[in-house]
């Protein structure tokens, strides 16, 4: 989507496009957008459209609040938010900061977490930012651009659908992740939370900007592609098509609040004879063909249905699906040393030096 058309509000007309775009940007993670779309559509029907504002329209001292769900996406399909989580989180954040929240934004634009601010913005009567904290999805709490920019995760506020509310002040992002994950597991595998609240001034350099507009734009490319949605997407995103084929093996387990595993894809048509393996940890992290790495985190690797062009989240991938694997560059902030330390291949336990997808795949 080389030229992004600025989105000014989210409503029943463009939420489906947002959902499709969030799924593509999710790199397989961030939760199922079907659930998030139903939730956001309901909220907008009940409470009206949600304004989308740019950071430049707000005062530098204003408080903006990231939000989203934490937990394993496999659980999120069945254990959904009650919808009023924002009404418990927001007042606690406002009390702790001593000022009002002027806008919500997605901690991650990827997956259903990209839809959460729309749903919560409608319920709370708050606009949302045309920005997010990842430009994609990542599995862990501190893997956000706010952390790369040096913004504190404290205070974090978490709630469950029952009404329990917990405020965390962690010594660092790693402990925030451990504490919140442990509690999300205790809550049944899924909870809602806000971390890394910040001022508009901080958000200007500490978020990925225009990502809501980008997601809607990606969704529209899919709607408008009359045939070959994969090709249309690849062109719009400057993405590489790593393979087109069929899922022949899925190894997936849900442990400690994460989905982990591998997906194997055998090529079809022009890719016949090739086999690609994706390593997953909530998101698709590394794409390998034998020993050759085609793409790696933090670049975005998304599995899409070859016929419809719709993204398939890691928890939905199954044997026999005809898929294409797309890979495209992450936001430049992730390619900085601080970004790679938080979310590069070594942060996920892979003994790989990061190489950008456009270099790797072209090699």
Residues of this chain that bind a copy of itself (CB under 8 A): 162-171, 175, 178-179, 182-183, 185-186
Closer residue to a copy of itself in complex, CB, 117/170: 170
d(CA 118, CA 127): 8
CB 94 to a copy of itself: min, Å? 15
**Least distance CB 100 / a copy of itself (angstroms):** 20
Give residue for tokens 């899924």.
190
Residue 283, phi then psi, degrees to nearest 5: -105, 165
Strands 275-281 and 258-267: antiparallel
Nearest approach in angstroms of CB 85 to a copy of itself is 14
Nearer to a copy of itself, 163 or 231 (CB): 163
Q: How far apart are the first and last CA of the chain?
A: 24
Tell me if 222 sits within 8 A of 229, measured CB to CB. Answer: yes
Nearer to a copy of itself, 179 or 241 (CB): 179
Query: Cβ 259 to a copy of itself, closest distance in Å?
Result: 20
Q: What's the closest the beta carbon of residue 169 comes to a copy of itself, in angstroms? A: 4
Question: Least distance from C-beta 171 to a copy of itself, angstroms?
Answer: 5
Q: Are strands 63-71 and 9-10 parallel, antiparallel or unpaired?
A: unpaired
User: Rounded to an integer, what distance in angstroms lies between the CA atom of residue 21 and that of residue 115?
Assistant: 10
Is 185 or 242 the residue whose CB approaches a copy of itself more closely? Answer: 185
> Distance of CA 218 to CAs 83, 112, 123, 198, 337, Å?
26, 15, 26, 28, 29
Tokens at 244, concatenated: 């087109």
Q: Which residues neighbour 52 within 8 Å (Cβ) at sequence distance 6 or greater?
A: 7, 8, 9, 10, 127, 128, 129, 130, 212, 213
Residue 92 or 352 having the CB closest to a copy of itself: 92
Q: How far is the CB of 192 from a copy of itself (least distance, A)?
A: 15
CA distance 71 to 140: 9
> Smaller CB distance to a copy of itself: residue 89 or 287?
89
Please give the Cα distance from 351 to 237 (Å, whole number). 28
161/289 with CB nearer a copy of itself: 161
Q: Determine the Cα–Cα distance for residues 46 and 258; give it in Å rounded to an integer.
A: 33
Which CB atom, from 159 or from 321, has the smaller least distance to a copy of itself? 159
How near is the Cβ of 182 to a copy of itself at its closest, in Å? 4
As a residue count, the chain comes to 363
């Amino acid at each position: 989507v080389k030229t992004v058309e600025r989105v000014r509000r989210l409503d029943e007309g463009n939420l489906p496009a947002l959902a499709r775009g969030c799924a593509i940007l999710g790199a397989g993670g961030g939760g199922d957008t079907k659930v998030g779309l139903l939730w956001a559509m309901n909220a907008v029907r009940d409470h009206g459209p949600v304004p989308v504002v740019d950071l430049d329209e707000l005062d530098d001292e204003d408080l903006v609040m990231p939000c989203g769900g934490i937990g394993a996406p496999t659980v999120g399909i069945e254990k959904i938010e009650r919808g009023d989580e924002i009404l418990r989180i927001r007042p606690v954040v406002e009390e702790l900061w001593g000022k009002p929240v002027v806008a919500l934004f997605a901690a991650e634009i990827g997956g259903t977490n990209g839809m959460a601010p729309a749903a919560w913005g409608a319920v709370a009567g708050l606009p949302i930012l045309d920005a997010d904290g990842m430009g994609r999805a990542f599995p862990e709490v501190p893997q956000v651009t706010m952390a790369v920019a040096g913004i504190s995760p404290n205070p974090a506020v978490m709630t469950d659908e029952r009404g329990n509310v917990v405020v965390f002040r962690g010594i660092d992002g790693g402990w925030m992740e451990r504490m919140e994950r442990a509690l999300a597991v205790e809550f049944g595998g899924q909870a809602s939370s806000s971390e890394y609240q910040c001022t508009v001034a901080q958000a200007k350099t500490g978020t990925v900007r225009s990502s809501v507009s980008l997601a809607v734009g990606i969704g529209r490319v899919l709607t408008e592609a009359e045939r070959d949605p994969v090709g249309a997407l690849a062109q719009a995103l400057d993405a590489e098509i790593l393979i087109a084929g069929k899922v022949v093996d899925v190894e997936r387990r849900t442990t400690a609040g994460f989905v982990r595993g591998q997906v194997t894809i055998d090529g079809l048509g022009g890719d016949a004879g090739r086999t690609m393996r994706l390593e997953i940890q909530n998101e698709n992290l590394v794409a390998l063909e034998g020993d050759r790495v085609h793409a790696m985190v933090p670049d975005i690797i998304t599995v899409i249905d070859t016929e419809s062009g719709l993204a398939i989240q890691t928890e939905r991938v199954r044997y026999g699906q005809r898929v294409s694997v797309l890979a495209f560059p992450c936001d430049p902030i992730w390619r900085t040393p601080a970004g790679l330390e938080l979310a590069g291949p070594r942060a996920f336990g892979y003994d790989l030096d990061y190489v950008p997808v456009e270099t790797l795949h072209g090699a």
